């Protein structure tokens, strides 16, 4: 099982979720956690591989607002792969992921909100950086991410990820969302994969529950089902 560096826009099955994206999306929004506040996320991904086999990955992430413009995040996950007969063929605990998100522009009438996030995994020289654009039109939110991941290895190329997401909130409690994601080698010579997700979440007051399903192209697994709980404190 191959892990990913955080902040890459493409969702890769059975790795830690991006620290700053609003679940179940992998596309990040430009907002940051309020100063002095924290958010914790518990997630579970179930992946159907191609042509067969499955994978499961529970994960945990927490982020904290240091200022009105800056927050920090930590996260990790555990993945288990099984073959078509249900036998365990892979088992891995991900490295600790660490990162930050900085708001560069917000609440401008004619401009989108703009943030940048960056992060790395412990024990690796690689890093990820992501540029985030967000714009809200009433209850509709639109988000675009452009990210770059360095492998941290001299002979291994990095990758570029892009994603576009839309989310709509109604009755201040229910939220539906969808996104398209893509990733390619940084010299644009090869597409690594494309995927799309549809899902939503329910705000229960003290926490929010989410659910999403991701469909991958022929380069990736068949489908990924993701669910999670987010709590603020």
> What's the pLDDT tens digit per position in 133-176?
999 999 999 999 999 999 888 888 999 999 999 999 998 899 99
Residue written as token pair 């992946």? 47
Answer whether residue 11 shows pLDDT above 90.
no
pTM for this entry: 0.88
Q: Residues 115-133: what's their mean pLDDT? A: 93
Taking CA 94 as the corner, what is the angle to CA 163 and CA 198, rounded to the nearest 5 degrees? 30
Answer whether residue 132 shows pLDDT above 90.
yes
Q: What are phi and psi for residue 220, nearest 5 degrees?
A: -115, -170
CATH of 38-232, one of 2.40.50.140, 2.40.160.40, 2.60.40.10, 1.10.3720.10: 2.40.160.40
* Residue 195 pLDDT level (bands cut at 50, 70, 90): very high
Answer whether residue 16 shows pLDDT above 50.
no
pLDDT in tens, 41-92: 999 999 999 889 999 999 999 999 999 999 999 999 999 999 988 899 989 9
Tell me the domain boundaries of the chain: 38-232
What percent of the chain clears pLDDT 70, i.e. is strictly above it? 91
Answer whether residue 6 shows pLDDT above 80.
no
């Amino acid at each position: 099982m191959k892990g990913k560096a955080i902040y890459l826009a493409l969702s890769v099955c059975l790795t830690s979720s991006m620290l700053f994206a609003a679940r179940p999306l992998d596309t990040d929004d430009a907002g940051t956690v309020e100063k002095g506040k924290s958010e914790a996320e518990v997630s579970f991904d179930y992946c159907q591989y191609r042509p067969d086999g499955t994978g499961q990955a529970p994960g945990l992430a927490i982020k904290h607002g240091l200022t009105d413009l800056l927050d920090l995040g930590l996260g990790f996950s555990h993945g288990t792969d099984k073959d078509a007969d249900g036998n365990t063929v892979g088992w891995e605990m991900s490295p600790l992921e660490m990162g930050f998100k900085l708001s560069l522009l917000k609440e401008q009438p004619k401009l989108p909100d703009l943030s940048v996030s960056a992060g790395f995994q412990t024990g690796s020289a690689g890093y990820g950086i992501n540029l985030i654009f967000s714009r809200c039109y009433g209850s509709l939110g639109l988000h675009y991410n452009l990210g770059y991941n360095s492998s941290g290895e001299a002979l291994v190329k990095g990758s570029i990820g892009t994603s576009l997401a839309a989310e709509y909130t109604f009755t201040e409690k229910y939220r539906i969302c969808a996104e398209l994601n893509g990733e390619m080698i940084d010299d644009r010579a090869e597409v690594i994969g494309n995927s799309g997700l549809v899902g939503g979440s329910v705000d229960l007051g003290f926490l929010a529950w989410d659910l999403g399903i991701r469909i991958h192209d022929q380069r990736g697994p068949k489908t990924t089902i993701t669910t999670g709980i987010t709590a603020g404190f």
